[in-house]
Chains A and B, each alone.
Chain A
Amino acid sequence: MTWLPENLDLLLRLTGTHLFQSVLPVVLGLLISVPLARMASGSRWLRPVTINGAALLYTIPSLTLFVVLPVILGTRITSITNVIVALTVYVIAILVRSCTDAFESVDPAVLQAATAMGYTRTQRFWAVELPLAVPVMLAGVRTALVANISMVSVGAVIGVQSLGTLFTDGLRRSIAEEILVGVVVTVVLAVLLDQVLRLAGLFLTRWQRPGRVDTRTRLAATGGAA
């Protein structure tokens, strides 16, 4: 066990960039998928186009994408941008589908009630549709994030640094410990981020679990300043 103590700095730096490369595409993918899915949900022609289009995207092998993207984007082959863009494409492939399902899972009676109350279309989207779509949407986001964390490693093959670098480097220099550390930290990262999302989801969907009175709103309701 000599590799780890001597390379803590490297491990920390690679974990950081790994995290960045996995999380940023999820954020970008969400920003693109949500409006796309909202337009597709309930639309007779746009829905099949986006759903099938997204499924098609997912069939592109990741390594191909990593190699082809620099040609399209004009980036260096080892640029981090290639990984970010490639993974964003995969996130969209997963999220367009689950976000469309999410918007379609919202009870039409609730939407109608919101309209009848006098919400404008924009107000209704932010105040009613989006919050109510969260539970189904979140399942897709968790899948996408975990998939990303494993997929970022592939970038190491073409020279983009990540925890995958420990794997390629360890393999080349025959350091079993380096490989093992890379695998373990990747798995821990995946489990950790998934739990963070799960907890965030629980917080955003408190209303879904009956039987428990929300003490915070209750305090607010009685005007408790404490």
Chain B
Amino acid sequence: MTPKQIVERASELRWKLPQDYHDRWVESIYAESARIASRNVDQQGKTHRLAWERRLDWLLTNRWTGMPIMVLMLALVLWLTIEGANLPSGWLATILLDIGHPFLKQLADYAHLPWWLSGVLVDGLYLTMAWVISVMLPPMAIFFPLFTILEDFGYLPRVAFNLDHLFQRVGAHGKQALTMSMGWGCNAAGIVATRVIDSPRERLIAIITNNFALCNGRWPTQILLATVFLGALAPPALTGLVAASAVLGVALLGVFLTFFSSWMLSRTVLKGETSTFTLELPPFRPPNFLRTLYTSLVDRTLIVLWRAIVFAAPAGVVLWSLSNIQIGGISLAQWMISILDGPGWLIGLNGVILVAYIVAIPANEIVIPTILMLTVMTTGVTGIGEQGAGVMFTARGDSELAMLLQAGGWTTLTAICLMLFSLCHNPCSTTIYTIWKETKSLQWTLVSTFMPIGFGIVICGAVALVWRIVGG
């Protein structure tokens, strides 16, 4: 045979091979390696699950007990986080805000810094940063280790297993249940956690929709507004119950929006992304507490906190400058408020809130303090928050707060719309940056940023419209 004939013969024979020849070939390579491994590698440890493991698995994934256990666990984690964070948050606030801030202010006076420099540095940069740390650090330092312990023990994969059929219906992965709950602690951490989803499409869905999980920067806003405005509508005995149900309602709306937007995304823009599903259910292991504490503090808490500080510090400078730089006798902040008052009204909010959301893009924690500061500035209410323009503060009581906000023109509608808008608005800049780091795609970063705002405008606009028609 000549070389040419050989080539011809080969290409002729090539068509005679079975169609799935390539796949079968790969399969037999894998099978052969498995055979070699099992012949030559001794495996230690048990191959069967123990009786208690089987029983526990049955308990955790059963139709009747699986769900209640899950809800109970989640409630417990959230309760421990909220209750447990109160005390250290208070300490940090005392040290950083009540003692640290006046001290630095005095220091600046001794050093004869010009008023604007001490304003920008101490009232702007330092105060905002201190605020974010004192509100954010304690809950994160409690929430994430608790979560990691559950993960270590092997419970979280069971949750994903239980919920997978719900997520499958909207084209998502069961593990999104985990990244969503992680988002209740911090969206940036939730987005980092989507790395556990190995399917590209489902991971993108989990990233884009994570913002609908209320993060710990937004829980306080929800609780505050629900207590002050909605709870106050009910008889005193029911105040707590009404407020709690309102917050729960918003959180559940977030879950619903997660499902809805996942469904929408998987059927439209993400249709072409590849998709696979596998979920490993590891054996139960006693959690290693020290390692858990270390990894969750270093990997999650500190990284997220650091990014938040990096973003929050400049925001403080911007906020202070907006309130103190004047054009034609009116501060920049006031200009912006009067421009945004109209659009704000349409979606049941006002200019102050919108300006606060623009300034507070770096961290949701500073939304309420910023709103308070701007309200005092625009209404000229005296008696609270008199440290000066651009200096954030908290109200000392609910009634004081209600009085102040009502002076700013707030109604029940404003509070409801703000609660909804707090659920549906752009992610904070830390989260946006994390999305960019994780996806390396401008397109998906923009979608993740603007989709929630779109939802927020539509929902708030509709609520405001209906409210005004029904309420006259």
- Asked if chains A and B come from one complex, the reply is no
Query: Could you tell me which B residues sit within 8 Å of A by CB distance?
Result: none
